Every structure is written in C-alpha cells, then in structure tokens.
Structure 1
C-alpha cells in the first residue's frame, strides 16, 4: 500500500484549519451576542423638573416724603416791631419771639411732613407757620392778645438763635438773642423775672458781659 503523499497531508491540514477557524468564529459571535442580551439596558434616571411656581414681586413701597433738613431761620414781624427765630432739628422745632424790650416767648413743637408747624409756649403763646421749600418760614405768633405775622428766612451762622442762663451776683439770668441776617441783634435779658434789653453778644464766640461777668450765649436747638 502506498503512503499518502505530502500533498494529501497538506490538504488534510488545510481542511482542518478551515474547520477550526469557522468554529471559533461562530462561538465568538454567539458569546458577544449573548453578552449584549444579558446586559441590562440602562434606565434613564431623569429627575422631575422643578415645578415653576409663579414669582410674586412685592410692590415697591411708595416713596415717603423726605424730612426737611436741619436749619435755622430768622426774620422780623410784618410790622417790624419784633423778631422771630426758629431752630429746626429732626422734625422738632424751638422758636423765640422777642421785641427787644419787654415782650418775649419761647415756643416749641413738631414739624409735620408737609412743613406745617404749631409751636406753643407759656401763657397761651402760639406760633403757626409753614416751611416753604426749606428756604423760609411764613406764619403768625399769637402773644398777649395780639397776632404778629412774620417771615423768617434761612439763616447762616452766625445768624440764628442764642441763649445764656446763669446766676450772676445772686440773680438768675436768662437771656435770649436773635441775630438777624446782616448782623443786627434783638434780645431780652431776664433778671429774676424782670425783662430788659439784652447787651449784644459776640456772634463769633457768643461771649457777653452781664453785670461784670462774662457769659457765653450758645446756639439753641430742640
């Protein structure tokens, strides 16, 4: 019997190789396909969109009237017989009416948002006025059964209202001064309840000499 030749042996080996290659290819495809089927499909975890509640915008408050600036005012009565000064601070006011001889009154009260004021003093004294644009006060003073109309313009130091209180040689001293725009002064000095014309003060320092003693008159504020 003849042995298979080398060609037959080579052919048999080639067929075996093709068979093995086909088997491996089939097994690999099946494995890959099986992996994809067994793999869980990813679940989309979508968080719910936040509910959009309507935004409520609070109405902006209506602007309030601004307070009148702190200032001093000084002027004369319509009949030119007396002077009036008003000091305004943070919505409060103090005023002084003085004729420079024997009639005077200190008054105080509040200033409303519209600029009106009603100030009261001793013995029924009353000042009613209106602040106009922060530049002047127009009003009336009722004192001793008389009514005095007045206009007081905004004053710049040293113009304004001053006062000094002390005890000099056993007497109680209470002095009030109005320094008008232009420098003229109107004041009354009260000694133990007896009024008289007041000596002039130094408007720059407030210094005044009374019965040989030097006092200091200071600006008056509420």
Structure 2
C-alpha cells in the first residue's frame, strides 16, 4: 500500500489556510467596529444663550422742555429748563436782583432747586404745561407760574471777557417777546441790553457777544 502522507499534508494545509482566513476576517470586523466607535464625535455640551442685557431705566419720565413766566406780583421773571432729569432756573428782576438755581427733577415732576446765598426754588410740573411754585431769593419769598415756552421764548445766557472784565449775562424771553435780563461785570449787576431773539446776538460794552439757550 502507498502511504497517504502527501495527501494528508495537503489537506492539513488547506484546513489551516481556511482557519487563518476566517480569523483575519473576524479580527478585521472587530477592528473596523472599534475604529468606528472611537471616531464617533462626542456629543456637544448644551449651551444656553447669554441673557440679554437689561436696558437701563430712564432716569425720569419728565420730558425735556423750557418754561418761562413771572412772579405773582409781576416784579420779576423766572425761566426753567429741563433736560434728562436735571433742571436749571434763572430768577431775574431786570435791575439788580438775580439768581441761578439748579437741581434734579423727580419722577412726579417735583423740583427742589438751590442757588447761591440760600436761594431756593420749590415747584411742581403740572401735566407738562406749566411749572408753579415759590422762589426765595435775597430775602424775598414769591410765588410764580412759568408756562411751557417755544423758541425763542425761554432762558438765554452769554459769558465772555470784555475789556478785562468777566461778563455773565442772563435773559428770560417771555411768550409776548418781553425780555428781562441782567449783565454782571466782575459780579456787579446792571440791566442787560436786548438780544436778537433769532440769533442771540447782543452788544455789551461795545463788543458783540452771542447768547445761547441755557440748559442743565
């Protein structure tokens, strides 16, 4: 009988080859699966949108406007300018007594303004149409009413140096066109010359100046 050695060797080689092919296929599938899992992107963390900035509340609900009028005894004029919750006022008798006052405007329209030498104005804005109250200047206590003004009515001011003297002029233009004002020269008051209500031009001691609407 012939020995089956070569045949058995061939069969054993075929079986071993099939086993190795099966092993490689299985290993490749596992590696591919592992590669797929490792390359999967991590879920993005949830982010919340930043809160919208809260708008700053308006300092006051009182509208910007100008007011001009007279004291109850008609001896002096007064003008008030309101801007962004601030107020400036000017009291003037057109001769020698005047005062600049300033302060805040409350949300309810109340004004508490103060000036030099204890000057004080207490007033109330009435529906945006007028300001009524009292003013204390130079030892006098007077009631006043100032109606809402339209340009050129309202409060005007000019400052300059003329012939080495410091000039400070204030004017109140009323709705009927009347002007009440004082110019001080180095602190000495005197009646103010008339200004041009359209341009604010005014001549003081031979020099032309320009008065401008006064605001806080």
CA contact (8 A) 2:71 2:144 kept: yes
Please state whether the residue corresponding to 2:103 is helix, strand or coil. Answer: strand
CA distance in structure 2 between the aligned counterparts of 1:65 and 1:194, rounded to whole angstroms: 38
Please tell me whether residue 99 in structure 1 is matched to residue 106 in structure 2.
no
TM-score (norm 1): 0.70
| Partner of residue 189, structure 1 | 183
Q: Which runs of 5+ in 1 are unaligned?
A: 1-63
CA positional deviation for 1:66: 6.5
TM-score (norm 2): 0.72
Aligned-residue Cα RMSD (Å) equals: 1.5
State how 1:1-222 maps to structure 2 within 5 Å. 67-222=61-216
Task: Count the aligned residue pairs.
Answer: 160
Q: Which runs of 5+ in 2 are unaligned?
A: 1-57
* CA deviation string 1:16-46 (max 9, x = no partner): xxxxxxxxxxxxxxxxxxxxxxxxxxxxxxx
CA distance in structure 2 between the aligned counterparts of 1:145 and 1:214, rounded to whole angstroms: 35
**Which structure 1 residue ranges, 4+ long, deviate > 3 Å from structure 2?**
none
| Partner of residue 18, structure 1 | none
Query: Measured at CA, do residues 65 and 199 of structure 1 come closer, stay the same or move farther in structure 2, by a change above 3 Å?
Result: closer
CA distance in structure 2 between the aligned counterparts of 1:66 and 1:118, rounded to whole angstroms: 15
